[in-house]
């Protein structure tokens, strides 16, 4: 029975995939003049690609998507643009963020992500978006960036919900992804910095609701990162949903080669429809 249900759901998803977009994606430079925080790499620019659903399908909800890549590069397709069809089919605008690399200055990607959130709310009327329905999504290091905003951002930069795929959460040695930590905080961060940007230690009762997906066999970013984050959300009475798939390792994004891709999409769709 479950196999038939999954096949039927897959057919529905594929049937609507070709008609999801209202227009070609809009590319916008986040900082048309000087960025709020300068980068050491002048050629590294921050942009968003905006994928809007057909106006008649629009629910008013939007998601800013932060691809992963260890704070060194960005998986713009599988962890970014490839998600646009999924969200547009649900009437949700997808805003894919190309954030700048930190190179030891954490405020570079944070400022980019915050500006992307603010941009979506500034454009809310034009893009048929409700300002109180703007979430953030991130995978791997992008999941860390998303969780930083979810736990620390205020005002128009604060997300209303968060979606995290195999996220880097902690900056604590032994549990963190070392490359992401070193590029985000530098190679010799203080203990205070490690605590401040270990986002499981920053959860409060006002942290937005979350959906978290992990692979049990992930050897790149230990699943305990996401599990500990979920545990803190639970402890602070924040609505959250945790999904641990038996396989897939790391970096599957929306790749069709991920064995549990369909189940994952159905789980996420159900969660998005629950509130």
Give the rounded percent of residues in the chain with a pLDDT score beyond 70: 92
pTM recorded for the entire structure: 0.93
pLDDT higher than 50, residue 184 = yes
In a domain, 35, yes or no: no
For 188-213, give the secondary structure using H, E and C: CCCHHHHHHCCHHHCCCCCCCEEEEE
Residue 246 · residue 267 · CB < 8 Å: no
- pLDDT value of residue 20: 55
In a domain, 95, yes or no: yes
In a domain, 193, yes or no: yes
Nearest C-alpha neighbor of 9 from the set 275, 270, 272: 270
Q: State how far the Cα of 96 lies from the Cα of 87, in Å rounded to an integer.
A: 12
In a domain, 264, yes or no: yes
What's the longest Cα–Cα distance across the chain? 57
- pLDDT value of residue 18: 46
Is residue 23 very low, low, confident or very high in pLDDT (cuts 50, 70, 90)? low
Neighbours of 148 (CB within 10 A): 24
- pLDDT value of residue 15: 46
Q: State how far the Cα of 35 lies from the Cα of 110, in Å rounded to an integer.
A: 12
In a domain, 15, yes or no: no
- What's the domain range around 90? 44-273
Average pLDDT over residues 151-171: 98
* Residue 241: CATH number of its domain: 3.40.50.1820
In a domain, 140, yes or no: yes
In a domain, 251, yes or no: yes
pLDDT higher than 90, residue 6 = no
Is residue 103 very low, low, confident or very high in pLDDT (cuts 50, 70, 90)? very high
Give 81-91 pLDDT, tens digit per residue.
999 999 999 99
Q: State how far the Cα of 130 lies from the Cα of 39, in Å rounded to an integer.
A: 32
Q: State how far the Cα of 61 lies from the Cα of 70, in Å rounded to an integer.
A: 28
Give 242-269 pLDDT, tens digit per residue.
999 999 999 999 999 999 999 999 999 9
Look-up of token digits 């949700």: 92
pLDDT higher than 90, residue 108 = yes
Give the rounded percent of residues in the chain with a pLDDT score beyond 90: 91
Average pLDDT over residues 72-76: 98
Record the tokens describing residue 116, joined without a space.
Answer: 């992307």
Domain count along the chain: 1
Average pLDDT over residues 33-43: 93
In a domain, 86, yes or no: yes
Is 102 exposed, middle or buried (CB count within 10 Å of its CB: 0-12, 13-18, 19+)? buried
Give 191-210 pLDDT, tens digit per residue.
999 999 999 999 999 999 99
Is residue 24 very low, low, confident or very high in pLDDT (cuts 50, 70, 90)? confident
């Amino acid at each position: 029975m479950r196999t038939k249900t999954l096949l039927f759901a897959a057919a529905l998803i594929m049937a609507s995939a070709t008609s999801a977009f209202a227009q070609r994606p809009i590319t916008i430079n986040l900082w048309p003049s000087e960025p709020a925080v300068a980068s050491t790499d002048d050629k590294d620019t921050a942009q968003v690609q905006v994928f809007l659903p057909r106006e008649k399908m629009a629910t008013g909800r939007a998601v800013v998507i932060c691809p992963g890549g260890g704070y060194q590069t960005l998986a713009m397709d599988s962890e970014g643009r490839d998600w646009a069809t999924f969200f547009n089919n649900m009437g949700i605008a997808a805003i894919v963020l190309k954030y700048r690399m930190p190179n030891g200055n954490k405020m570079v990607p944070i400022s980019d992500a915050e500006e992307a959130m603010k941009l979506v709310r500034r454009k809310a009327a034009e893009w048929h978006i409700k300002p109180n329905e703007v979430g953030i999504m991130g995978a791997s290091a992008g999941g860390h960036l998303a969780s930083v905003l979810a736990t620390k951002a205020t005002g128009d930069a604060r997300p209303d919900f968060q979606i995290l795929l195999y996220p880097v959460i902690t900056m604590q040695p032994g549990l963190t992804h070392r490359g992401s930590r070193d590029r985000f905080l530098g190679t010799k961060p203080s203990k205070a910095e490690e605590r401040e940007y270990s986002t499981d230690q920053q959860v409060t009762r006002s942290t937005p609701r979350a959906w978290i997906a992990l692979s049990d066999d992930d050897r790149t970013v230990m699943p305990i990162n996401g599990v500990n984050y979920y545990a803190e959300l639970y402890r602070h009475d924040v609505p959250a949903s945790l999904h641990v798939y038996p396989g897939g390792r790391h970096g599957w994004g929306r790749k069709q080669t991920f064995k549990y891709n369909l189940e994952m999409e159905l789980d996420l769709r159900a969660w998005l429809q629950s509130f």
